[in-house]
Amino acid sequence: MAIPGPGRPAGVLSSVTLQVLLNLTTVYFSFYFLFTLGLIIRKSLELSYPADALVCDVCLLFLLAALEFLHFFCGVKGNLTENEGYIIGNLILTGASILLTVYFLVWQSYVMRADVIISSILLALYGLDGLLAFSTLARLARLVTILY
């Protein structure tokens, strides 16, 4: 909780729902990462997976993992400290994560039904996360507008 200063009310503006959803998204992403990596390995063994496409898919999966770490960090830090900058960073990272998840949903070399299911669930979680982060940002921005 932010320490109230001169002209700042003592109320809590952080969102418990956003905090719970960020934790849920991170737990689900751990499953998503391991499952998708397993599917890529299975596809590379059973299908004629081009080597450059395999490297691209694995690198993009690890990039998505790095973005998820930053997404979680910015979301939690922004929510708990009621910092608009971190929440904006969370929203930007959510957009980038959504684009990479759409890649694994639609554009990767071989898309299986399992890819569609787990990527769709992750997209839904990212969408909810983005909506809650935006509403928290709006609540913080409204307070700043009222104070000044």
Domain that holds residue 91: 16-147
Residue 106 placed within a domain: yes
Residue 38 placed within a domain: yes
Short-list 21, 30, 103, CA closest to 68: 30
Short-list 83, 36, 27, CA closest to 59: 36
pTM of the model: 0.90
Residue 79 placed within a domain: yes
Q: Which helix (H) or strand (E) holds 118?
A: helix 113-147
Residue 126 placed within a domain: yes
pLDDT (tens digit, 9 = 90+) per residue, 79-118? 999 999 999 999 999 999 999 999 999 999 999 999 999 9
